[in-house]
A and B are shown apart, each in its own frame.
Chain A
Amino acid sequence: MLEIKNLNVWYGGIHAVKDTSISIKRGEIVTLIGANGAGKSSAIRSIAGLVKGAKGSVTYTARSGESISLLGKQPEVMVRLGISLCPEGRRILPHLSVEENLMLGAYSRSDRDGIARDIEYGYTLFPRLRERRRQKGGTLSGGEQQMLSVARALMSHPDLLMLDEPSLGLAPILVSEVFEVIKEINREGRTILLVEQNAFAALKIAHKAYVLEVGCVTLEGSGAELLENPKVKEAYLGG
C-alpha cells in the first residue's frame, strides 16, 4: 500500500534520511526502530508532507486501487487520501476540550452521524477520554494526552495510521495499554506505520520491522526475527 524507494530527506541542513526504501503491505503493522536521531521521525514526517524538499519516490495505493505519488503533497491532502499522522509529543491543542480535539481530527469529513459514531468509538477504545470529554486538552495527564492524540488521528478514518513515538514519556503500564490499542486498531483493518525508540514493545506487535541507523536501513525482517537478532538484542534490547 505504501512503497518508499530511495527516500532522501534533509532536515535543518542535515541529511537525515539516506536512500531508504521501505515497503508496507495493507493490513500490516510496520515499525521503524532506531536510536534518537536515526532519521525515523524525518522519514515519517516527510511521508506526511511536513518536510519540504524530500527526494525519492513515495507511492501510495489508495483503497480505490489508484497509485498516487505522495512527495510534494501538502499534509492536509494526505488526510483526504486516507493517511493520518499522530505526531511526536502528542500535540494536543491545550485550550480545546477533549471533544473539540476529536472534532478537529474529523475536519476533513462532513458526515455528522459518522463523526458522532467515531467519537463514541474513540471513547470505547479509551474510556478515560469519555470521563474527560469536556475538560481542556491541556489538563490531561501525559498518558491521557497520548490516548487523545491516537483517537484524534483515527477521526479522519485513515487507511494508514502513522504513529511517531507514541510511548515517549509514558509509564510502562501506559505503554502496554497504548500498544494494546494499536494492535486492536490494526485488527480492525487499518495499516500501521509505527516509529519507536522502545524497540521491544514495537517489535512485539510488528509484522515487519526496519532498523534505522544514521539515516540508513541497516536491518529488516519480521518483528519476531528482529527480536531474536543478536545485533538488535545488543543495540536496542539491552543485551
Chain B
Amino acid sequence: MELNMFMQHFINALGLGSLYGLIAIGYTMVYGILRLINFAHGDIFMLGAYFVFFATIQYKLPWALGLIIAVAGATLCGLLVDRIAYRPLRDAPRISALISAIGVSFFIENISIVIFSGMPRPVVQPPALMRAFSLGGVRLVPLGIMVPVISFVLVGALLWMVYRTKPGLAMRSISHDIETTRLMGVSVDRIIALTFAIGSALAAVAGVMWALRYPRVEPLMGIMPGFKAFIAAVFGGIGSIPGAMLGGISLGFVEIMSVAFFPDLSGFRDAFAFILLIAILLIKPTGLMGEKLEDKI
C-alpha cells in the first residue's frame, strides 16, 4: 500500500476511533460510578444526531447553533433517563437497574421510530467541511481533521475537570465508596446526574459528527456504535476515561485497517469488534488501562 493511501486510512481510523471513544466515555463514567451499563447511551447518541438534523436541515439553523441544541437536548434526555429509570432503583439489586436500562433503550428506539418515522433521512453536509485539499500528497477534507481534534480537546477538558475540580474529586471518590463520600457532604445524586449530563453531552457531539461523516440519520443508528463503544470501554478498561479513548481508537484502527489491508474481509467488519471484546476478556479482563476493582477498607 502506498504511504499516502495509508495516511488516508490512518486519518479515517483516527476519526472513527475518536467517535467510538467519545461515546465510550459515557459508558465508562457511568459504570465507574454506579456499576451500571447504561444501555440507553447509544440511543442518546442517536437523539443527538436527530436534534442536529432537525435544527439544521428542517429549520435551517446554522450548524454551530444546531450543535448546541443537540448537546442541550441530549443532555436533558440523559438526565431524564437517570431520574426516571435509574435513580428510583439506586438501592435495588444491580440487575434491576440493568434491566431498566435495557427497557429504556428499547423505549427510546421505538418511540423514535414513531415520532421520527423509521425512514433514514439524508443529512446535507456543509460544503465548507467537505472541500477536499491535499496535504503532502494525502487527500483530506476538513471534517476528517475536525473530528479527532474536537474529540481530543473534549477529552482533555474532561480529564482536567475530573482531576482538577471539586465535582471531579467527588466523582473519583464516589466510584470507590458512596457512603463515605456522602459523609463528606457530597450530594451523590447531584454528582451522578452530572456524570450522566457529561456522558450525554459527549455522546451528542459524537452523534453530530457521526451524522456529518455518514450523512444520514435513522432511529436505530445508535445501536451498533453503542455496542462498539461499549466494547471500546471494556477493551480500554472500564472505569478509565483515557482507557475509553484508547479503546475507541484501537477499535477504529482494527475496523478500518482490517478492511484496508484485507478487502475480502470487509463483510466481517463488525465481527472484528466482537472478536476484540472476547480476546481482551480472555487475556486481560480488566482492559488495557483498567484497575482491579478492589474493595479495600
Physical interaction between A and B: yes
Q: Which residues of A contact B (CB under 8 A)?
A: 48, 50, 74-76, 79-80, 84-85, 87, 89-91, 93-96, 100, 103-105, 107-108, 138, 152, 156
A76-B185, A103-B169, A107-B169 known, 11 other contacts, Cβ within 8 Å: A50-B182, A76-B186, A76-B187, A84-B183, A95-B172, A95-B176, A95-B291, A96-B169, A107-B166, A107-B185, A108-B184
Task: Using known A-B contacts A103-B169, A104-B173, determine if residue A94 contacts B183 with beta carbons closer than 8 Å.
Answer: no
B residues less than 8 Å from A96 (CB atoms)? 169, 172-173
Task: Using known A-B contacts A76-B188, A104-B169, A107-B166, determine if residue A93 contacts B183 with beta carbons closer than 8 Å.
Answer: no
Shortest CB-to-CB span from B80 to chain A, Å, is 23
Determine if A91 and B172 form an interchain contact, defined as CB atoms under 8 angstroms apart.
no
Determine if A75 and B296 form an interchain contact, defined as CB atoms under 8 angstroms apart.
no
Which of B176, B182, B188, B291 touches A93 (beta carbons < 8 Å)? B176
Kindly state whether residue B179 has any CB partner on chain A within 8 Å: yes
Within the assembled complex, what's the spacing in Å between the Cα atoms of A30 and B188?
Answer: 30
Residue of B nearest to A138 (CB): B296
Kindly state whether residue B181 has any CB partner on chain A within 8 Å: yes
Kindly state whether residue B135 has any CB partner on chain A within 8 Å: no
CB-defined A-B contacts under 8 Å, sample of 22: A50-B179, A50-B182, A50-B183, A76-B187, A79-B183, A79-B184, A91-B177, A91-B179, A91-B183, A91-B297, A93-B176, A96-B169, A96-B173, A103-B166, A103-B169, A104-B169, A104-B181, A107-B169, A107-B170, A138-B296, A156-B184, A156-B185
Determine if B169 and A76 form an interchain contact, defined as CB atoms under 8 angstroms apart.
no
Kindly state whether residue B180 has any CB partner on chain A within 8 Å: yes
In this complex, the member of B172, B173, B183, B186 whose beta carbon has the largest number of chain A beta carbons within 10 angstroms is: B183
The number of chain B residues with a CB under 8 A from chain A is 21
A residues less than 8 Å from B172 (CB atoms)? 93, 95-96
B residues less than 8 Å from A84 (CB atoms)? 183
Task: Using known A-B contacts A90-B297, A91-B297, A107-B166, determine if residue A85 contacts B183 with beta carbons closer than 8 Å.
Answer: yes
In this complex, the member of A48, A80, A95 whose beta carbon has the largest number of chain B beta carbons within 10 angstroms is: A95
Determine if A79 and B169 form an interchain contact, defined as CB atoms under 8 angstroms apart.
no
Task: Using known A-B contacts A104-B169, A138-B296, determine if residue A91 contacts B185 with beta carbons closer than 8 Å.
Answer: no
Q: Which residues of B contact A (CB under 8 A)?
A: 166, 169-170, 172-173, 176-177, 179-188, 291, 294, 296-297
Determine if B183 and A100 form an interchain contact, defined as CB atoms under 8 angstroms apart.
no
Determine if A108 and B176 form an interchain contact, defined as CB atoms under 8 angstroms apart.
no
B residues less than 8 Å from A93 (CB atoms)? 172-173, 176-177, 180
Within the assembled complex, what's the spacing in Å between the Cα atoms of A74 and B169?
Answer: 20
Determine if B183 and A75 form an interchain contact, defined as CB atoms under 8 angstroms apart.
yes
Within the assembled complex, what's the spacing in Å between the Cα atoms of A29 and B104?
Answer: 52
B residues less than 8 Å from A87 (CB atoms)? 179-180, 183
Residue of A nearest to B180 (CB): A91
A residues less than 8 Å from B180 (CB atoms)? 87, 91, 93
Determine if B182 and A75 form an interchain contact, defined as CB atoms under 8 angstroms apart.
yes
A residues less than 8 Å from B185 (CB atoms)? 76, 79-80, 107-108, 156
B residues less than 8 Å from A94 (CB atoms)? 176, 294, 296
A residues less than 8 Å from B291 (CB atoms)? 95
In this complex, the member of B185, B291, B296, B297 whose beta carbon has the largest number of chain A beta carbons within 10 angstroms is: B185
Shortest CB-to-CB span from B75 to chain A, Å, is 24
Within the assembled complex, what's the spacing in Å between the Cα atoms of A207 and B291?
Answer: 46
Within the assembled complex, what's the spacing in Å between the Cα atoms of A142 and B101?
Answer: 40
In this complex, the member of B172, B181, B184 whose beta carbon has the largest number of chain A beta carbons within 10 angstroms is: B184
Within the assembled complex, what's the spacing in Å between the Cα atoms of A50 and B173?
Answer: 17
Determine if B182 and A74 form an interchain contact, defined as CB atoms under 8 angstroms apart.
yes
